[in-house]
Chains A and B, each alone.
Chain A
Amino acid sequence: MLPELGHFALILALLLAGLQAFFGIAGPMLGRDRWIAAVTPAVAGQFVMIATAVGCLVASFVANDFSVLYIAENSNSALPMFYRVTAMWGAHEGSLLLWILLLAAWTVAVTIGASRLPPRFAARVLGVLGLISFGFLLFTLATSNPFLRLDPAAPDGHDLNPILQDPALAIHPPILYTGYVGFAVAFAFACAAMLEGRLDQTWARWTRPWTTAAWAFLTCGIALGSFWAYYELGWGGFWFWDPVENASFMPWLMGTALVHSLAVTDKRGLFKSWTLLLAILAFSLSMLGTFLVRSGVLVSVHSFAADPSRGIFILAFLIIMIGGALSLYAWRAPQLKSTAGFELGSRESFLLFNNVLLVIAATTVFAGTLAPLISDALKLGTVSVGPPYFNPTFMLSMLPLLALLSVGIHSNWKRGRLKDKQRTLLYTLIAAAVLACGLVYGIYSHGRVLTPVGATLALWIVLASLVDPIDRWRRGLSLSRAVIGMTIAHLGLATAVIALTTVQSFTTERDVALAPGASTSAGGYEFRFDGVRPLEGPNYDGVGGTIVVTRQGAPVTVLTPEKRQYWVQRQAITQTSIKMHHGNNLLVALGEDLGGGRWSVRIQIRPLVSLIWLAALIMAIGGATAASDRRYRTAKVAEAPALGATARDGAA
């Protein structure tokens, strides 16, 4: 009964989304205020219906209803309760439903936040969001319905994919999708602004907190995914440039560019058409990522089951949404004129560099991700593009970005006078270089060329970012949340660069065969293998090894890697064991049973790797702080639509 209720609720949600889209877009166009008034109830009703559908599916999972195909495929009666709930988004159908639920939640938030916006503009924003929701609901109901029954019912379920039975991955999709879907809000604002012809900077100000919040979620979501890959996949890497990872990273890069470009449009009324384009592209890349992962066009190590009929549907949807938005852009953007100018060396110019470099980075990732597809389409044979392509090309645009960041935050709006800051910049750069070389050669006494370069750039950002806030704080001046948030986010970026540089330069990896009692040394540590013992979990059994780690005779820690055999899917899972010691991540994974008690063991010592994920968290906190700035909440609403208005907004 519950699945049918959920199915029915989903159909009602589809109808309500259709109404929301129609009234929201047609209402303002035809000037029908009563239509506009119907948009908000449609949003509320749609949210309730989608929440009901999700509730029904989760309840059916909890009740082990294996007469539902999706549940029979992704759950099992032995599955612990927590994973029975998270199994809801463990595969394609349910994760789409989660996507839709989060979109509905964002829409409700926008509806509440939009009470200060002009009603017609708000209706258009909600109308565009309704159109997106309609497309995804239709997709779910037509090709990926999670409520389909299985007759006869399965005696037991096929179980959730064991590699997904992990706390980090259980919460990774909701956070990642919150970020993805959040860019839909910026997309909707941009489309609404173009539909209305209200292309002054007000729409940019309204969009900023939403975009920054979505960006913060996406940052966290990507970091969680990377964290999971690090300890669960057992290979010890934290980023593989896999299509699924790239699918989330491209919107992040574009979103980062958008956050910065929105600042210019908001403050100075410049880059207006460019910002519109970025807002469209950030969400387009989110949708494209969905397409690439779901359609079977690209095969990835951790993608969901692919189906070409789904691909055709998503492609049609992409043509309508992205093609529509870009056509709207081609029509409206020529009407935009920026009258304000800026000099080279001004903050505008630095943010322009930022945008150009980030877009180049996103483009190189995009090209690398699609290269296999293009070469296949042109019948050039199958190619595989991996880290040897991505690492250097990505670094090529990132290094100048980091260097320009330190200078850019000291520049002024409009004017290019960097002279009065010359000293500060030079001193901080020298201090950073000395500190970086001292640290790199002091601790490790060796390193590649890029090691001191990366460390210097990162430390320069730290020092340069802190000069102004400390100065203002000493003089007793207040700092806005936007500035504090920006500083925190930049410090997070610097932290990430330091961590990545250190990890890439000083990682020790060793694969050895160890008999019980034998030991090996790596990176200054001694690892003694004490053999394996059998173990049994709720839905798996396997073996657990014990490895005692010492350093110069002194005990450090005991690592307990496991090799699990999940009963239902018969999948062997390597459960790595990771401990921190003086900033080093000691990772041990069990490989193969070589017979006679001997095991192949993988040992990795990665310095500062945890800092990568901490850095992402710092960036996200910075984003959240900036998004909560009072300026956005008290922003005045200007009713008069203005095309190509000049900016008189002062520098803040």
Chain B
Amino acid sequence: MENITNAITLVPLNHYILLSSIIFFIGIIGVLTRRNAIIVFMSIELMLNAVNLLLTAFSAYRGDAAGQVFVFFIMAVAAAEVAVGLAIIVMIYRNNNSIDIDLLNKLKN
């Protein structure tokens, strides 16, 4: 039994951390370099998913189910954020006829 569970995963924890930080920073680069509001949103989803992967990896590493329960809460927050955020994007599109985030600088002056 012990041998079988040992054989399941032999990947170092560092590699999980590295993978999720790479995905997280790809998301950050996406937020910084794109002007399309929807793609900025998708980059945020990418960052949330990187965090989910990290939480699950730590949860499996420590043998503690709390991390996996937290992933549920992150998913719930992501869904609420997407619902309100896309409603805001559609609203902006109706007013500006564009979803370019650089046009949203009316508070600047």
Q: Do A and B bind each other?
A: no
Question: Contact residues of A with B, CB < 8 Å?
Answer: none
